[in-house]
Amino acid sequence: MSNSPQLITDRLILRKFTGEPEDIEAMFTILSDIETNRFLPWFPVKDLDEARQHVQERFLNTYNGEKGYRYAICLKEDNIPVGYIGLSEGESHDFGYGLRRDLWHRGIVTEAAKAVVQRLRADKMDFITATHDVNNPRSGAVMRKIGMKYCYSYVEQWQPKNIRVIFRMYQLNLDGMTDRVYTGYKKNYPDYFIENIDA
């Protein structure tokens, strides 16, 4: 397994985060925006110290292991983070992403996601999952664009925001085992069901 190898696409550089001020300030812009973080599992950060802690815990610390697939999404012209994308280290292999609001609807996350999936496939990852709030269908559109398939929905009392959320779970099997469905969310959240989703 490779440890967050740098990836290059037509418009983007996907690289490791650093602890340098430029990266922290860029992430503060993303993490402090209320709308950008509306559907994410944390509250917007209040200052640079909170942004630095977030980068340390969710990115820098993961690079010490073998599978640190967590990237800063940067535009080629300046190599400054405008978003992030990566894979959790848990059994769900949860795929997640976020992007600065002024760059939404330009296909940037889809472009980044396709590059990461290609890398995961090359590194023999067996599958990935991803979830989105039913009120955030654009995230589901990204999942479908990279080949993920809807599997089921479940209800969670989401923390730390303590709100009831219906999540849709998508999966992409990278090893050819097309019938595999990750059931961990069903086990943890027994209020689950299958929706009729046109996609």
pTM of structure: 0.94
Return the amino acid letter for 160: P
Identity of residue 159: Q
pLDDT one-digit tens code per residue, 2-49 = 566 799 999 999 999 999 999 999 999 999 999 999 999 899 999 999
The boundaries of the domain holding residue 180 are 7-193
Which spans in the chain are helix H?
21-31, 48-58, 108-122, 137-145, 184-188
**Token pair in block for residue 25:** 């300030």
Please report the pLDDT score of residue 68 as a whole number: 77
Q: Is residue 198 part of a domain?
A: no
Q: What is the pLDDT of residue 197?
A: 83
Domain for residue 177, yes or no?
Answer: yes
| Percent of the chain topping pLDDT 70 | 95
Q: For position 8, what pLDDT does the model report?
A: 98
Per DSSP (E only), the strands in 38-193 are 70-75, 81-87, 95-99, 127-133, 149-158, 163-173, 192-193
The structural domain count of the chain equals: 1
SS3 193: strand
pLDDT at residue 50, rounded to an integer: 97
The domain that contains 90 carries what CATH number?
3.40.630.30
In a domain, 1, yes or no: no
Tell me if 199 is assigned to some domain: no
Residue pLDDT, tens place only, 44-68 = 999 999 999 999 999 999 887 666 7
State the CB neighbour count (10 A cutoff) for residue 104: 14
Reference 122, options 58, 75, 176, 174; nearest CA is: 174
